[in-house]
Structure 1
Amino acid sequence: MAAKPAPASEGAAPPRHVAIIMDGNGRWAKKRLLPRIAGHKQGVEAVRRISRAARKLGIEVLTLYAFSSENWRRPEEEVRDLMGLLRHFLASELDELVSEGVKLRIIGAWRKLSPDLVAMIDGAVARTANNPGPTLVIALNYGAQAELAEAARVLAEKAKAGEIDPAAIDEALFQDALDTGDLPPLDLLIRTSGEQRLSNFLLWQAAYAEFLFVDTLWPDFDEKALTEALDQYGRRQRRFGGL
């Protein structure tokens, strides 16, 4: 069962779990009169940069919103390019993740992706499964509403089979049925590019997370920006409904 967060009376303790909605690749490219794929390529560079920075700054879990279940509505060519960049990222970064002791996790309906990509992800996750270090979580074909519906379905099936008492289903049991059930509670959720919405990302997990919306476009987000975000988080008081 995932641990519950504890209130902090004087500011916030350092975040264990940080999630980022990586937004602004297209606008970054448009500002430079470049094709959207150029923005996505720079976005991948930002993933590398922030993944390394998070490890340096002691973040235990970094969750990145890479591809939502709604992103299939984008032009077919752009979706194909994004999947190609994902393949490239896995191939080029896996050795470093292994050597750095990083555990790779994928959440979402990623098994609905193409079979070759699913096999590639399976191999990457397996290679890092026993790593002792921080966890990099990538949300692929992810939608929080679908995650909640799936958790409800799983618990309903268990109740129907007599494995659990329906009366025993509470917040903790429901949380354990989520993709992130064994991870630390979400402390800080950052969205880049100036947009201020969750876009169907970690709706349950964000219940008591601190939100930070920054104007920086994702390809320009760097260690300095992440450090500033952590500094802002550290000045907040998290009471979780208490005084």
Structure 2
Amino acid sequence: MSLSQEQRILSLLLLLAIGGLAAAHTSSFEPRLGSGLKSGSANLSQIIPSAKLSRAKRVAIYNGQGVVKFAVTVAHPVKQVEKEQSFWFFYNLQSQYIPTTVPIFWWSFWNTTTFVSTARQLRKGMQATLHRDDTRSWVYDALEVGMAALDGSESGATCLLRSICEVSQLPFENSNIFSEIVNAVLIPTADNVAEKYINARDAGRAGADCQKTYKDCSRKTWNWLTNFNKVNF
């Protein structure tokens, strides 16, 4: 088989694949026959001239995965003796936010009804897509069991709530991978875990006294956690 024949075969297969994808993603693509034609007896030459093709409207929906980021950077060079080398200083300021999945137009801010209904639709969509964080719940259960076993009583498990409160109030500096992991684990990012963990997070962010709020935390377990943090962080 020559090279030109192989190219023709590949082109034909590519066209068939594109046609199959278009047919698979089209919900309504069927001809409408004229009043004088019967669907069982009409041939292709009769259908094509009078056919009215219709197809469902395709809409691309952004599901909110990702962020929109704006970065402002100022850079200036530093003079050096060596002309073949260069050294620069950079100052970077970033701001980011999660884009909305519901379109908001500029005139919506003057049309109160439209703006309120759009915001309500956005909140409804966010509530519908908020699922329980089973992984985080499993990690919290494992930590509670481990702390209770370390202390020998149920009061050791209360130290997890105090830890969430303390870290939410004053997170670790992101100086290494371990501090980032602790911040990510002990600070729930959404209200999709048990209510006691959400209350501990909110209490820490509100500036509550975590020691008095969770006074049932075992001193033995808390001292062990404090010494562990001093060694690793």
Which of the pair is proportionally richer in strand?
A: 1
Work out whether the TM-score is over 0.5.
no
Which of the pair is proportionally richer in helix?
A: 2
- Shorter chain as denominator, the TM-score bin is under 0.3
TM-score scaled to structure 2, two decimals? 0.22
Rg bigger for which structure? 2
Greater relative contact order (Cα < 8 A, sep 6+) = 1
